Amino acid sequence: MDLIEALATRHSVRHYTDKAIETEKIKHLRQLVEEYNAQSELHIQLITNEPRSFGESLLARYGKFSGVTCYFAMIGPKSDSLDETVGYYGEKLVLEAQRMGLNTCWVGLSYKKISSVMSINDGEKLVCLISLGYGATQGVDHKRKKPNKVSTTDVRTTPQWYKQGVACALLAPTAINQQKFKFTLHEGNRVSVKAGFGPYSKVDLGIVKYHFEIGAGTENFEWL
């Protein structure tokens, strides 16, 4: 499965079966976490066999999660860019998990923080979790905004790569499906994107930037 197929078939999954994730897959995901932490200076951790974060707490019930025992703890050094970096690298993990036949859901609110199973150093922050496992279903498709609601262009003819980048960004997960982002295509194949106001909109920004890169092809444009 390539990344385009992974992003087109991914949906948030909140109910998981008790099928354990194979040791080989966990090993591969741990390697990816190490690689992405080295690239980004994040401190992402893959937590396994920990059902308490999505136990019978009020928040977990509100979020309607069940069967979650594995998740990525998205931790990193506090800075203005932390949320966006978490979004970008977290979505890389989400799409790699999808390619491996696993399911995920970004979780900003509906979980309980179990500090004893993760390491959060001084100056670091837990931004959110990403649940991971074999879904009871593959999730469902959601209503999406139209491309003209999330993008504009300063050029006369819109190239195909830009349209494809925006189309892939529209398939990205965003908090409460808010899709509050705006892409602009400028002269010279330069692209900018801004986050709107809303919960976790900077995490969303990192996520949609990664989706845009997959759709548009990084060789076709430069971020402004």
Please report whether residue 84 would count as binding ligand FMN according to CB under 6 A: no
What is the spatial distance between Cα 65 and Cα 111, in angstroms, rounded to a whole number? 9
Exposed/middle/buried for residue 59 (C-beta within 10 Å: 0-12, 13-18, 19+): middle
* Residue 196 and residue 76 in contact, taking contact as beta carbons nearer than 8 Å: no
Selected range binding ligand FMN among 15-23, 106-114, 155-163, 189-197, rule: CB under 6 A: 106-114
Residues 41-80 that bind ligand FMN (CB under 6 A): 63
> What is the nearest approach in angstroms of ligand FMN to the Cβ of residue 120?
18
Count CA within 13 A, CB hemisphere, residue 18. 0
Size of site (CB under 6 A) for ligand FMN: 22
Please report whether residue 206 would count as binding ligand FMN according to CB under 6 A: no
Tokens 């999808």 locate to: 98
Closer of 150 and 185 to ligand FMN (Cβ): 150
Please report whether residue 30 would count as binding ligand FMN according to CB under 6 A: no
Please report whether residue 198 would count as binding ligand FMN according to CB under 6 A: no
Closer of 12 and 40 to ligand FMN (Cβ): 12
Selected range binding ligand FMN among 41-49, 69-77, 159-167, 174-182, rule: CB under 6 A: 174-182
Instruction: Give the strand pairing for 222-223 and 190-195.
Output: parallel
Which residues lie below 8 Å from residue 59, measured CB to CB, with a gap of 6+?
109, 110, 111, 112
- How far apart are the two ends of the chain, measured CA to CA in Å? 30
Q: What is the DSSP letter of 20?
A: P
Q: Please pick, from the candidates 17, 31, 177, 218, the single residue that binds ligand FMN as defined by CB under 6 A.
A: 177
* Binding residues vs ligand FMN (CB under 6 A): 11-12, 14, 63, 105-110, 128, 139, 142, 173-177, 200, 203-204, 207
